[in-house]
DNA sequence: GTGGTCTAGACCACT
DNA sequence: GTGGTCTAGACCACG
């Protein structure tokens, strides 16, 4: 499981947090599963414990995990998480569509291109 | 024409560059139009000439303008510009769609929500 | 009787102590009643005896129980306990009222809102 | 202006944040006022820049200030801030009242005592 | 000069 | 061993 990409301009702690967010949203990490300890994860990623700590703090603040001092960090089984992510995605996508319209590209034009783009990435076959 | 928003977290030079990009893509600025001089624009925006220079450098790097030493900066009336932007938007949108699918939200579900969002019915949460 | 909530951010020993404090103040545990033994309580709560011991030490320090070596821990049926708790609560509440006044919210305004809040009408924002 | 109390068990960064929150809520710091720079405040408080940074990050997260990279931190003139603080205070106070009732102390009893307590703190008069 | 991030290493509270 | 906080010192992006 690769987490940190040093080419990526985003800070390391954000990449770590993002990575766990996806794992939780995808259901790879389930409610009350224990997260790797701050120190062990820092070792594994060859980064500093403070950096991991910052990622975990962020995850807790956003409601993805909860912390029990002396015991560790655990996944919060919140059904709302996926809904929040959905709203976030919709707002982002809508923003991009508005940008497109401003420079004279229509909604349907984009949709079509995106569909082609997506099927092109998957195939040979076509799912969606 | 308001360009800089100090409350915006993005760096000022990026806001300036972005603003010109949109003007060019929308056709407000046309091929070979002369850009305002670095110094005059810095005055107008009450900002540092270095900052404006950085924005112009960025615009040149991305192919939106060209520089003639001693004469100034000019809009590169390249028909490809809009196409490049289009491809960029499509890739971004497709990326978000893929993210959505990974956590189990279908393409059509997103499209519908986005349409509703765009028609001004800023409707928040939803189905799960 | 549920005592420990692992989602609660407070340390476990504090949750245990708090739980017994309330039972004593409410009169569920009466003067000279015997407390459960450290070991048995640890078993029942599936926690570490050290943690239970720490809770008991805390309770003794605050005057809620007393220890007889070789026999166990007993409730200190002190009539003053409730009064102490009362004074403590009053000081805390008064502190919050002072904070409110400092930012320009009157005593009566708070009282009213609190009454409404307590009568179950969980009414959020308001007047300003 | 004393900010840090080393006797206080709360972490330093929280004390710093709390201090500025009060100054903003009281109106001592007004909208768009510039906050002291991270480094200068760290010097003044004889603490580490990272600690101040953490306090500022917290303040930004809670909506009290906004940050402009390269320029500094500024107070966010949000009228809602006071309302949020009010709701928070009411919830805390209501919680304490409920605690009091559970051990058999009535609402009015508390109110009276608190009034006496507060008037006692202002005069040199006599309390409880 | 400003904030943002990161490393290295330390101490403390809790289990 | 676990997380939470703090110090000291460094580098980078921005203006």
Report pLDDT for C69: 87
The end-to-end CA distance of chain A, in Å, is: 26
Label residue A75 exposed, middle or buried (CB < 10 Å: 0-12, 13-18, 19+). buried
For residue C82, name the pLDDT band (cuts at 50, 70, 90): confident
Distance B8 CA to F14 C1' (A): 14
Residue C128 has pLDDT above 60, yes or no: no
The H-assigned helical ranges of chain C are 12-25, 38-45, 49-61, 80-102, 107-118
Taking CA–CA distances from D77, the nearest residue in chain B reads B7
Q: Which chain A positions have a beta carbon within 8 Å of C6's beta carbon?
A: 68, 71, 74
Using the C1' atom of nucleotide F3, identify the protein residue whose alpha carbon is closest: A69
Can you tell me the distance from the alpha carbon of D66 to that of D75, in angstroms, rounded to the nearest whole number? 6
Q: What is the 3-state secondary structure (H, E, C) of chain D?
A: CCCCCCCCCCCHHHHHHHHHHHHHHHCCCCCCCECCCHHHHHHHCCCCHHHHHHHHHHHHHCCCEEEECCCEEEECCCCHHHHHHHHHHHHHHHHHHHHHHHCCCCHHHHHHHHHHHHHHHHCCCCCC
Q: Please, which residues have CB within 8 angstroms of residue A87's CB and are 6 or more apart in sequence?
A: B124, B125, B126
Note the pLDDT of residue A1.
Answer: 67
- Residues of chain A found within 8 Å of residue C10, distances taken between Cβ atoms: none
By C1' distance from the Cα of B10, the closest nucleotide is F14
Angle between helices D49-61 and D12-26 (to 10 degrees): 50
Percentage of chain B beyond pLDDT 90 is 62
- Is the pLDDT confidence value at D29 over 80? yes
Residue A123 backbone dihedrals phi, psi, to 5 degrees: -80, 175
Q: Looking at residue B128, what is its pLDDT?
A: 44
Best residue of B12, B15, B47, B50 to probe chain D, by most D CBs closer than 10 Å? B12
Q: Are D52 and D20 in contact (CB under 8 A)?
A: no
The distance of Cα A6 from the centroid of its chain, to the nearest Å, equals 17
Task: Tell me if C47 sits within 8 A of C40, measured CB to CB.
Answer: no
The values of phi and psi at residue A68, to 5°, are -120, 115
The chain-wide mean pLDDT, for chain C, equals 86
User: What pLDDT score was predicted for residue A79?
Assistant: 77
For B3-48, what is each residue's pLDDT tens digit?
A: 888 888 899 999 999 999 999 998 899 889 999 999 999 999 989 9
| Inter-residue contact C82 to D103 (CB < 8 Å) | yes
Average model confidence (pLDDT) across chain D: 88
CA angle A113–A118–A124, rounded 5-degree value: 120
* Touch test C–B: 3 Cβ pairs or more under 8 Å: no
In strand F, the nucleotides that come within 7 Å of a protein beta carbon are: 1-10, 13-15
Contact between D3 and D16 under an 8 Å Cβ cutoff? The reply is yes
Q: Do A67 and C11 touch (CB under 8 A)?
A: no
Tell me what pLDDT residue B36 has: 95
CB-count burial class (<10 Å; 0-12, 13-18, 19+) for A65: buried
Residue B90 (CA) to nucleotide E3 (C1'), in angstroms, measures: 34
CB pairs under 8 A between B and D: 9
Per-residue pLDDT averaged across D59-80, rounded?
90
- From the list A66, A69, A70, the residue facing C7 with the nearest CB is A66
pLDDT at A128: 44
**Chain D residues with CB inside 8 Å of B6's CB?**
68, 71
- 3-class DSSP state for residue C89? helix
Residues 6+ apart with CB under 8 A from D107: C115, C118, D97, D100, D101
Contact C114, D94 (CB under 8 A): yes
Per-residue 3-state assignment (H helix, E strand, C coil) for C4-16: CCCCCCCCHHHHH
Chain D CB within 8 Å of residue C82 CB: yes
Mean pLDDT of B115-128: 64
pLDDT digits (tens, 9 = 90+) for C8-66: 888 999 999 999 999 998 888 988 999 999 999 998 898 989 999 999 999 998 889 99
Q: Region D70-88: what's the mean pLDDT?
A: 88
**Which bin fits C70, alpha (ψ -120 to 50), beta or left (φ > 0)?**
left
Chains within contact range of chain C (3+ C-beta pairs < 8 Å): A, D
Average pLDDT of span D29-44: 93
| Confidence band for C123, pLDDT divided at 50, 70 and 90 | very low
Say whether A69 and C11 touch across the interface (CB within 8 A).
yes
The residue among D121, B67, C7 whose CA lies nearest residue A69 is: C7
Q: What percent of chain A has pLDDT over 70?
A: 93
Rounded Cα distance between A125 and B6, Å, is 48
Between C107 and B123, residue with greater pLDDT: C107
CB A63 within 8 A of CB A78: yes
Q: How many residues does chain D have?
A: 128
User: C49-61: per-residue pLDDT in tens?
Assistant: 999 999 999 999 8
| A86–B contact, CB cutoff 8 A | yes
CA D36 to C1' E2 (Å) is: 11
Residue C74 token pair: 């007993």
Task: Indicate if the pLDDT at residue D52 is higher than 80.
Answer: yes
Question: Using an 8 Å Cβ cutoff, are D89 and D49 in contact?
Answer: no
Within 10-39 of B, beta carbons closer than 8 Å to D belong to 11
Q: What is the mean pLDDT of residues B77-99?
A: 88
- What tokens were used for A74? 């655990």
pLDDT at D126 exceeding the cut of 50: no
CA nearest neighbour of C24 among C75, C59, C58: C75
Confidence class for position A13, pLDDT limits 50, 70, 90: very high
Separation of first and last alpha carbons in chain B: 42
Tokens of A100: 């497109």
In this prediction, residue B116 carries a pLDDT of 92
């Amino acid at each position: 499981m690769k987490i940190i990409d040093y080419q990526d301009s985003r800070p390391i702690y954000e990449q770590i947090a993002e990575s766990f967010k996806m794992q939780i949203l995808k259901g790879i990490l389930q409610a009350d599963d224990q997260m790797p300890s701050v120190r062990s994860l820092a070792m594994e990623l060859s980064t500093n414990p403070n950096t991991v700590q910052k990622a975990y703090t962020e995850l807790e603040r956003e409601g993805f995990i909860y912390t029990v001092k002396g015991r560790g960090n655990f996944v919060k089984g919140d059904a709302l998480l996926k809904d929040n992510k959905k709203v976030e995605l919709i707002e982002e996508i809508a923003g991009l569509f508005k940008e497109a319209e401003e420079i004279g590209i229509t909604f349907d034009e984009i949709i079509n291109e995106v569909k082609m783009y997506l099927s092109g990435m998957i195939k040979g076959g076509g799912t969606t």
